[in-house]
Amino acid sequence: MVMQQEATVFVVDDDPAIRKSLRWLIESVGLKVETFELASEFLQSYLPDSPGCLVLDVRIPGMSGLELQEKLRERGYDIPVIIVSGYGDVPMAVRAMKAGAIDFLEKPVSDQVLLDYIQKGIERDIESKQNRLLNKELVERKSSLTRREHEVMEHVVAGLSSREIADLLNVSFKTVEAHRAKIMKKMKVKSVPKLIQMDLQIKGHCAPKFNN
């Protein structure tokens, strides 16, 4: 809910009348709005940690809307983009969608249709940012494991029993059980299935470092 309230809709369009109209429309549903005439202005001011979405025209002076999309992707910014243009064509739409746009809408666009896409974009961005925060926390938890605990954890999530792990590592059963208890505590889980789920999520994110 907090992220939803903090969300901002960014509008980039060189037509002042359209910027004014979109500001009125978006603010009418209680959302924050920032408008820009040039893509370069938006790129300079955008803070990627802020939740929101981008309503972007294609044909604007200087850096085009599609070029802005490419710049955002190069910088690793995954803000949801809604392309709104009066000069749409199939190749342009395909390029925009391949670059990650939620949709390519031709002007004039129904107010409700645009608001629906904006809401969809904000929800997607909030979910993405929440997942990144969770991934960061999980990586930090796993990074707190010692190398031996990490080794034991890899065998646990692979489905081996404590006795099998003990035989494999040439240590006692009690030693493995002690490591397992510490792993569960550090990872803040109470079951092996949950530990496996966390490990899969971490490995899909990045490789953590471990304490000696």
Which residues neighbour 35 within 8 Å (Cβ) at sequence distance 6 or greater? 10, 11, 12, 13, 19, 22, 23
Give residue 6's pLDDT band: very low, low, confident or very high (50, 70, 90). Answer: confident
Q: What tokens appear for 189 in the block?
A: 């889980």
Residue 200 confidence (pLDDT) above 90: no
What pLDDT was estimated at residue 212?
Answer: 43
Tens digits of residue pLDDT in 97-111: 776 777 888 888 899
Q: What is the mean pLDDT of residues 193-199?
A: 90
Residue 210 confidence (pLDDT) above 90: no
Instruction: Report d(CA 6, CA 139) in Å as an integer.
Output: 26
Tell me the helices (H) and strands (E) count for the chain, helix number first. Answer: 10, 5
Tens digits of residue pLDDT in 111-137: 999 999 999 999 999 888 888 888 888
Instruction: Let me know if 42 is exposed, middle or buried by CB neighbors in 10 A (0-12, 13-18, 19+).
Output: buried
Element (H, E) at 199: helix 192-203
Task: Provide the 10 A C-beta neighbour count for residue 98.
Answer: 9
What pLDDT was estimated at residue 89?
Answer: 63
Tens digits of residue pLDDT in 10-43: 999 999 999 999 999 999 999 999 999 999 999 9
Check if the beta carbon of residue 34 is closer than 8 Å to that of residue 10.
Answer: yes
Of residues 124 and 90, more confidently modeled: 124
